[in-house]
Amino acid sequence: MYDLRRLRSLCAIADHGSLTAAADALTFTQPAVSQHLAALEAEVGAPLVTRSRGGAELTGAGRLLVEHARAALARLALAEVQVSDLVATEQRRVRLAGHSSSLTRLVPLAVADLRRRLPDAAVTIREAGPPGALEALRQGEVDLAVMFRRVGSEPPADVAERLLLEEAMYAVLPREHPLAGGSEVELAGLRDDEWVQGPSSTSPGLIRELCRAAGFEPRIAFESDDPLATRGIVAAGLAVSLIPSLTKEDTARDRHVRVLPLRDPPRRLVIAATVAGGRVTQATAEMADALARAGARIGRATG
């Protein structure tokens, strides 16, 4: 394969009519251009330039090689521009997956913060429970995943985590529930109720895990990741549920439900995850910082 520097020298000779003028145009020395030409002629096995007092002219082989060299150099110049543009775009892009409760407050606060600090950031967001967000991260479909896991559980070995928030879980009951009038509720006291929790295909099953730890198997009658749907099901008197701090305030505004702290409340970690050892763009790093600031702000407000 022909050396690109030698091809550029040959094209410059064709454009400027002499080795000296070509050297000036390329900011090379004249001996360097002569060496490029000699090496290229050795590769081709035929003269490419004829020299005279009037300058330098291309031979037939030289003209043919210049024609192809110009096309190759033009494509490389285009590739340089396009690759540079793509890298710049990727540096500004952040694709995020987050669970439903994080999208109600945490993520919107962080995106607004990011856009103040990095106005040309291009943010896309998809809703996904922790298993789906983790899979999207592993497949390279997102750059950042906002997930939760129970305090004391082990993080996946293939991701790098950043703690955003530690939040308590609360019971949400219909207003007419027998236990709705208390100041707190014991989880075991809800063993006879039907429950609404996130779909088993997208949720880690935290409610089922906590109820089992309290000594009973919950009767899961409804599955939904949507905080509004969960609130509506509870408000209609159809089921009870557990909600995190992130959605506590919005849920408590509904006069048809009661949000009560649990006795010895379980807590969970909300984290931002990236691929361990993977390339992190400027926008992704800035987004993680914005999420941490939003988490600290929410933690102070709910703590």
Which range (100-104, 129-133, 148-152, 257-261) has the least confidence?
148-152
Structure tokens at 293: 């600031």
Are 130 and 149 in contact, with CB atoms under 8 Å apart? yes
Amino acid 55: pLDDT:
82
Crossing angle for the helix pair 4-16 and 30-44, to the nearest 10 degrees: 110
User: What is 162-220 written as a DSSP string?
Assistant: EEEEEEEEEEEEETTSTTTTSS-B-GGGGTTSEEEE--TTTS--HHHHHHHHTTS--EE
Whether residue 302 has pLDDT greater than 70: no
Alpha helices in the chain (DSSP H): 4-16, 19-26, 30-44, 60-92, 100-104, 106-117, 130-138, 206-213, 227-235, 245-252, 282-302
CATH class label, 4-88: mainly alpha
Domain 99-302 CATH assignment equals 3.40.50.2000: no
User: What is 228-258 written as a DSSP string?
Assistant: HHHHHHHHTTS-BEEEEHHHHHHHHT-TTEE
Q: Whole-prediction pTM value?
A: 0.67
The full set of domain ranges for the chain reads 4-88, 99-302
Whether residue 248 has pLDDT greater than 60: yes
- What number of other Cβ atoms are within 10 A of residue 70's Cβ? 15
Distance CA 179, CA 173 (A): 8
pLDDT digits (tens, 9 = 90+) for 14-24: 889 888 898 88
Q: Using CA of residue 160, residue 269, residue 244, residue 212, what is the dihedral sign?
A: positive
Radius of gyration for the alpha carbons in the chain, expressed in angstroms and rounded: 32
Mean pLDDT of 277-303: 86
Are 285 and 233 in contact, with CB atoms under 8 Å apart? no
Q: Is 71 left (phi over 0), alpha (psi -120 to 50) or beta?
A: alpha
pLDDT digits (tens, 9 = 90+) for 157-205: 899 999 999 988 899 999 999 999 999 999 999 999 999 987 765 566 7
